[in-house]
Every structure is written in structure tokens, then in C-alpha cells.
Amino acid sequence: MIINIRLQVVKPPKNADPSFQQKLEYVRQIEQTKHVSAMLFIIFFLAVGLLLNTYSNFKVQDQLYIVNEQNNILKDDINLMKKEQKKLINKIPVKAYPEAGVGLQDYSWDELFTDESREKQYALESDLSSKLSPYFGLPTTLIVLDIPTQTLNIALAGDLTSEDNRKQIIENVKAFAKEAEGVSNLTQITFQLNVRDGDKQKQDYSCTFSRENGESQFSIIQEED
């Protein structure tokens, strides 16, 4: 290319032989042909590179599409398995509350209400939630103790269960309240059953047990069924 440019600049002398002019034109044509060939060669390789790059991009997009489709199928399979698992769990009967109770009186209630230690309170709430979970039949059992009002709050949350299990849960709640009569520090128990119906959470049952003092029996003062 540089040689071709230099040849274009070269001008023959005024008194130059005509044959020199012809030779110069001939050389110019040869160099110009080489220049065009080189440009075509470069353009060819650029075009091939562009085609290969485009083909590679299409292949990557196809692979991404296949991976996304496989992921969607896998998600659908997982969701289906979860639904089937929930149906299976809901068919498992809820255990009846044990006649001997779950050991409510084994906890240091007097110490807990005297010290008002948040750490001890959290430990009791967590341990009691684990003990009661098999008798309430739902995956989430939340227990919160309100020391100033001497109230134990119980909330259950999970998928809509069978009617037989629902009845058993309510019976177990009443049995729990009966055992709690032995804990003189408690004067009120609230219970709430929340179930998931589709994508929504709704209250399915609630009740409140109360008594005048730590020596009397609990009675239901509020119930929504």
C-alpha cells in the first residue's frame, strides 16, 4: 500500500523516454492489483470472522434457551413434588395430646417471672414450641410469653389441613390449657390457627382461655370457629 502511494506521487521527467512512462504505468497497475487483492483478502477474513462470531452467538443463545427450558421444567417438577408432599403430610393424623402432658411444670416459671430474663424466656418459648409441634400438626408453631399480663400466646401457621386433623388440633389446645392450670404464673392463654388457602393466609380458628388467679381453672372466654 505504501509503495502504491509512493508510485502515485512519482512523476516522470519532462524529457523522459516514453518507454519509461509505460514501465511506470505498468508498475503502478501491478501494485494497484496487489493492493486490491490484499484488501479483498482482509475483507474475506473479516467476513469469515464475523460469520463465525454470529454463529457462535446463535449457538450460545440456543444453549441458554435449552438451559432455561430445563430449569423451568425442573421448577415445575419441584413445585409438583412440594404439593404432593404437602398433601401427604396433611393425610398424616395429628397426635393426640398426651395424658401425662408435655412437662409444663418442669420449667422454672417462678424464676422466669421474677428475673424477667429475655434469654431464659426465648429458651422456654423455643423449647415449648418444639414439644408442642407434633400435637398441633402445622409446620410453624410460634409461642410468645407476655410476662406483665401473665399471658401465653400460641400461633400456628401452615397449609390447610384435613377436618379430622383440625378437630384434633382444637382438642389438643384445650388439653394443653388443662395442663397449664398447674402453672400458677399463667392467667391467660390465647390461641390462633392460621392456614394458607392458595396464596393467602387466613385465620381458621382462635380462642382465649382465662382465669381469675393461678389456682382456678381455665375457661374459654372467646372462641371463633
For position 201, what pLDDT does the model report? 74
pLDDT at 70 over 70: yes
Nearest to 184 by CA among 113, 78, 118, 127: 113
Average pLDDT value for residue range 78-106:
80
Which pLDDT tens digit goes with each residue over 204-217? 889 999 999 988 99
Q: Which of the pair, 103 or 74, is modelled with greater confidence?
A: 103
Contacts of 130 (CB under 8 A, 6+ apart): none
Average pLDDT value for residue range 34-53:
77
Q: Which of the pair, 24 or 187, is modelled with greater confidence?
A: 187
Q: With contact defined as beta carbons under 8 Å apart, do 173 and 191 qualify?
A: yes
pLDDT at 199 over 90: no
Confidence of residue 3 (pLDDT cuts 50, 70, 90): very low
pLDDT at 19 over 70: no
For position 65, what pLDDT does the model report? 80
Contacts of 121 (CB under 8 A, 6+ apart): 112, 145, 147
* DSSP 8-state class, residue 62: H
Rounded Cα distance, 109 and 47, in Å: 83
Q: What percent of the chain has pLDDT above 90?
A: 31
Which pLDDT tens digit goes with each residue over 20-37? 556 656 666 666 676 667
| N residues, the chain | 225
For position 4, what pLDDT does the model report? 47
Which pLDDT tens digit goes with each residue over 162-181? 788 888 999 999 999 999 99
Which pLDDT tens digit goes with each residue over 108-156? 998 888 887 888 899 999 999 999 988 987 777 889 999 999 999 999 8
For position 10, what pLDDT does the model report? 47
For position 206, what pLDDT does the model report? 92
CA distances from 90 to 83, 87, 99, 164, 170 (A): 11, 5, 24, 10, 16
For position 36, what pLDDT does the model report? 66
Q: What percent of the chain has pLDDT above 70?
A: 77
Q: Which three cell numbers stand for residue 146?
A: 407476655
For position 72, what pLDDT does the model report? 83
List the chain domain ranges: 2-67, 104-224
Q: With contact defined as beta carbons under 8 Å apart, do 189 and 218 qualify?
A: yes
pLDDT at 184 over 90: yes
In 10-138, which residue ranges form alpha helices assigned H by DSSP?
18-91, 109-115, 118-136
Rounded Cα distance, 57 and 194, in Å: 51
Contacts of 173 (CB under 8 A, 6+ apart): 136, 154, 191, 207
Contacts of 123 (CB under 8 A, 6+ apart): none
